[in-house]
Amino acid sequence: MKNILLIIFLGLFISCKNEKKQTMEISEKTETEAVIVTDTLIYPEEKHFKSIRQITFGGDNAEAYWSFDDKQLVFQSNNKDWGMECDQMFLMNAGDSFKDDKPPMISTGKGRTTCAYFMPDNQHFVYASTHLADENCPEVPLRKNGKYVWPVYDSFDIFVADLEGNITAQLTNEPGYDAEATISPKGDKIVFTSTRSGDLELYTMNLDGSDVQQITNELGYDGGAFFSPDGTKLIFRSSRPKTETEKTEYKAMLAQGLVQPTEMELYICNADGSDLRQLTNLGNANWSPFFHPSGEKVLFSSNFEAEKGFPFNLYMIDLDGKNLERVTHGETFDAFPVFSNDGKYLVFSSNRNNGGGRDTNLFIAEWQD
């Protein structure tokens, strides 16, 4: 879900600019603040961030997700300084920082992985991996016929592992792509994206892989889904072709294991797929949505205000599509926002403070409404 390849693409094509930062003194320590931070990396307009702390310092780091007790996070990284050739999964405590250290890797180190998410017991996590098909990293096409693309590897399956990296279960074994798994805050269901129907649709299943139910059934890429805090709704991104030309092109690309993510909008529905409706109609790419702790708003990343494909910033919108608000104010890339379960902190990925380079790092912000 929320493919880290977008980060790589932006790193290749964005000319980063320096922005004036607001210097703030933070004297209060919390469980997720191990040290006093003097430069919060908060831009002046970012009123929802009370404080901010940088977690990683190199490579492409994304899709960080909290444990149910908010004490740990799992995330994916391709940091070459950690010996990575492509994305693998890592574990961190909520107060960790990895400027000089390497976190423990909890995936196999084989193939490519994506979208790890904690199980309710806080001792296991689900993630997708290609390692059964090939222990090597698969090729990463970035462009096809002059257009930016994401690969949809049919070798991805969803696994459960413990925090030492031992795989304890395989939840999917259907032919085709199975990935982008996240778990309901109620702790009873997994939502994921699969091509088992011949198209990229959303499905739910029990935590043991049983009772698979198809949630969406319209042509187009439906992915990156998350449950609402009460588990009753799903928010997701979709690139649904409308014209016959767009439909033909989409099908041809999918047959090659590719999708074009440059035009995506957000959709919302009940957890069983009913009452499906389009939430945004902004144009360009609107993606990586996550529910606000109140369950009444959605935070997401978008470049709808951009003229050349960037920057991507975080925005917030009500569930009725009203009161759109810009949250971050960078000139490069902010995405993958995820609230802690207690609603006090937001982890996200950003190009800020990377010295004008290509690195995308993780940050934890203390949230204030």
User: May I ask the CATH architecture of the domain 5-367?
Assistant: 6 Propeller (2.120)
- pLDDT of 355 reads 87
Of 104-113, 134-143, 206-215, minimum mean pLDDT range: 134-143
pLDDT value at position 40? 66
Confidence class for position 28, pLDDT limits 50, 70, 90: very low
Residue 47: per-residue pLDDT: 97
> Is the separation of the CB atoms in 285 and 5 below 8 Å?
no
pLDDT at 163 over 60: yes
The mean per-residue pLDDT over the stretch 160-183 comes to 98
Q: Above 80 in pLDDT, residue 4?
A: no
The pLDDT, as a whole number, for residue 61 is 98
Task: Report DSSP letters for 107-120, one per residue.
Answer: S-SSS-EEEEEE-T
Average pLDDT over residues 142-150: 78
- CA 355 from chain centre, in angstroms, equals 23
H or E segment at 253?
A: helix 244-255
Residue 35 has pLDDT above 70, yes or no: no
Structure tokens at 147: 């257009």
Residue 150, amino acid:
W
- Looking at residue 8, what is its pLDDT? 38
For residues 15 and 93, the model is more confident at: 93
The answer to whether the beta carbons of residues 192 and 203 sit under 8 Å apart is: yes
What's the pLDDT score for residue 362? 98
User: pLDDT tens, 247-298?
Assistant: 999 999 999 999 998 899 999 999 999 999 999 999 999 999 999 999 999 9
Residue 19 binned pLDDT confidence (cut-offs 50, 70, 90) = very low
Check: CB of residue 108 under 8 Å from CB of residue 160. no
Over 90: is that where the pLDDT of 10 sits? no
Burial class (CB in 10 A: 0-12, 13-18, 19+), 345: buried
The answer, yes or no, to whether residue 329 has pLDDT greater than 80, is: yes
Q: Provide the token pair at 83.
A: 């010996």
Nearest 5°: the CA angle 141, 352, 24 is 165
Flag whether pLDDT at 135 surpasses 80: yes
The rounded distance, in Å, linking the Cα atoms of 127 and 69 is 19
- Rounded to whole angstroms, the Cα distance separating 40 from 24 reads 6
Write the burial class of residue 152 (CB in 10 Å: 0-12 exposed, 13-18 middle, 19+ buried).
buried
Verify cis geometry, omega within 30 degrees of 0, for the bond prior to 311: yes
| Residue 67 scores a pLDDT above 90 | yes
Closest CA relative to residue 159, chosen from 225, 63, 89, 104:
89
What's the CA gap between 26 and 66, in Å, rounded?
23
